[in-house]
Amino acid sequence: MDRTRLSVAVRPSGETFYDALARRGVSRREFVRFVAATASMLGLESTAVPRIAEALQEKKKIPLVWLEFQDCAGNTESFLRAAKPSLDEIILEAISLNYHETIMAAAGHLAEEVLERTVAEGGYLAIVEGSIPTADGGVYCTIGGKTAIQIAREVCGKSIATIAAGTCACFGGLPAAAPTRRGR
């Protein structure tokens, strides 16, 4: 596969969350009920409902960068086996999964180009799965010639938010017992 076709295949969709719901047959009334329920669930005042509705109708799907460091890929496995909503519903309708080493089609330099482009464009959400080794400058986990520490600082430092997924990312998990140490 040539680089041009692959770049187009992984480019984020211009579809909004509301567009995806409408395509699935969700009526305007059902959408407004959904927005009101979301505001209520988040403990927001009713004045937030119009702002949430506007955001879901106008903002494009949020790009997601999923980083994996020292882990068993258990969180990825859980994500892949999601039932309600299903993986295809999440990826095709709710988010734009720009980078995830385990499940993306691109590999090597092409995958790193996608990551670099997403970081440069900004406005993305980062998920970190796995611990980040800190011993000896982090050399015990390298991807594309960069340590996990370097990648996390660059990607997470520029994201709109970062989510630590699972015990390894939050507390070090089993890798924390190794002499490589880990950071949180």
Q: Is the pLDDT of residue 102 over 70?
A: yes
Q: Are 131 and 170 in contact (CB under 8 A)?
A: no
Q: Is the pLDDT of residue 148 over 70?
A: yes
Which range marks the domain in which residue 78 is found? 3-10+61-177
**Pairing label, strands 125-129, 161-165:** parallel
Q: Are residues 155 and 80 in the same domain?
A: yes
Q: Is the pLDDT of residue 150 over 90?
A: yes
pLDDT (mean) for 27-45: 84
69 pLDDT tier (thresholds 50, 70, 90): very high
Token code pair at residue 114: 């996608």
Q: Are residues 72 and 47 in the same domain?
A: no
Q: Are residues 91 and 108 in the same domain?
A: yes
For residue 103, give the CATH number of its domain. Answer: 3.40.50.700
DSSP H/E element including 32: helix 28-41
* Per-residue pLDDT at 66: 94
Task: State which amino acid sits at residue 179.
Answer: P
Q: Are residues 81 and 148 in the same domain?
A: yes
pLDDT (mean) for 14-43: 82
Give domain status of residue 125, yes or no.
yes
* Per-residue pLDDT at 33: 87
Q: Are residues 114 and 33 in the same domain?
A: no
* Per-residue pLDDT at 181: 63
Q: For all residues of the chain together, what is the average pLDDT?
A: 82
Q: Are residues 136 and 153 in the same domain?
A: yes
Buried b (16+ CB within 10 A) or exposed e, 44-72: eeeebbeebbeebeeeebbbbbbbbbbbe
Give domain status of residue 80, yes or no.
yes
Give domain status of residue 98, yes or no.
yes
Contacts of 16 (CB under 8 A, 6+ apart): 56, 57, 58, 59, 60, 61
Q: Are residues 47 and 90 in the same domain?
A: no
184 pLDDT tier (thresholds 50, 70, 90): very low
pLDDT (mean) for 3-31: 64
* Per-residue pLDDT at 10: 35
67 pLDDT tier (thresholds 50, 70, 90): very high
Count of alpha carbons within 13 Å of 55, Cβ hemisphere only? 9
* Per-residue pLDDT at 94: 74
Q: Is the pTM of this model over 0.75?
A: no
Give domain status of residue 127, yes or no.
yes
Total structural domains within the chain: 2
Give domain status of residue 182, yes or no.
no
Q: Is the pLDDT of residue 179 over 80?
A: no
Q: Are residues 73 and 141 in the same domain?
A: yes
pLDDT (mean) for 19-43: 83
pLDDT (mean) for 119-139: 91
Q: Are residues 68 and 152 in the same domain?
A: yes
| Edge-to-edge strand list for the sheet holding 62-68 | 95-100, 62-68, 125-129, 161-165
